[in-house]
Structure formats: C-alpha cells, structure tokens
Structure 1
Amino acid sequence: DCRERFELAAGALRLAVGASRRTTFYSFTCPRCGTAVRKPAGERIVELLTGGGVRTLRLHTGLRS
C-alpha cells in the first residue's frame, strides 16, 4: 500500500508454486507499513527466487490414489 522501495533478504520472502499462473506467487510483509503483499510469479521470478534461497512451498491441486 505504501509503495516504498526496499530490499528484502531471502528469509523475508515466501514462494508458493502451484499448478497454474494463478496459484504461483511470492509473498512478504512490507517492512515499512506492515502490509502483507502477494505478487504473481512467472517462470523467471520462480527461477530467480529459488536460486536466491527463498523458501518454496509446492502447492498440490488434488489427492492421488
């Protein structure tokens, strides 16, 4: 909400990788205003964040039998 620019360490980010673009995103809490932020993550962003050591959660879309 505050639109401030800042840098975050890998530990401050979370990456969720789902089955589609809609369910693949990264999130963090703004250090300036405390707002929870969620942004879409395309293939390149996923590659950069995982390469940078960001914790990744793989989302599953269903149960397997």
Structure 2
Amino acid sequence: MSGSRRVRAAGPPVSFKAACSDCRARFELDAGALRLVIGGSRRTTFYSFTCPACGASVRKPAGERIVELLTGGGVSTLRSV
C-alpha cells in the first residue's frame, strides 16, 4: 500500500544501558536522555548523553547496530553533512 507508514505500538518505555567514560558509572537512560548524530562516516556518527552521576558530557561512536537500536528505541536523531 503506497503512502502507508508503520507506527510503533505503544509499549513500555525503552531504556538503554550506558557507562560514563570519565567516572566509570553504569546506569540506564531513557531515549530522551540520548542524542544520536548520523554523519557521513564512522568518525562523525556518534551518540551522546550527560552522565547522571558526574555531569560529564559523554560522546561515543555509534556503529550500524547501535544506530539501529537507538533509532528503533525512539532516540532523537540529527543527520549531519
């Protein structure tokens, strides 16, 4: 059917396990706490968040599988050139 789109069924909120590069704390974050940037290369594709334990800004590379998981979980995505 042309023009149709898939809508994700409402379900329990998605959370993602993460760790801080600075203080090494481990925690779970909801989709709203993460940001995903998809660039033209591996170097420019990453996700970021603020560590809830120490407040550090954390930026980590995002490979294909991570991008798929984060976008599927509702993380806001920015495409850069």
How far 1:35 moved relative to its partner? 0.1
Aligned residue pair count: 60
What is the Cα-based RMSD across aligned positions, in Å? 0.3
Higher Cα Rg, which structure: 2
How far 1:29 moved relative to its partner? 0.2
**2: CA distance between counterparts of 1:53 and 1:15?**
10
Aligned to 2:40: 19
What SS does structure 2 have at the residue aligned with 1:49?
helix
Structure 1 residue runs of 4 or more that deviate by more than 2 Å after TM superposition? none
Higher relative contact order (CA 8 A, sep 6+): 1
Aligned to 1:7: 28
- The counterpart of 1:41, out of the listed 37, 40, 62, is 62
Structure 2 unpaired stretches of 5+: 1-21
Q: Which has the higher helix share?
A: 1
Aligned to 2:50: 29
Task: Provide TM-score, normalisation by structure 2.
Answer: 0.73
Task: Provide TM-score, normalisation by structure 1.
Answer: 0.91
Structure 1 unpaired stretches of 5+: 61-65
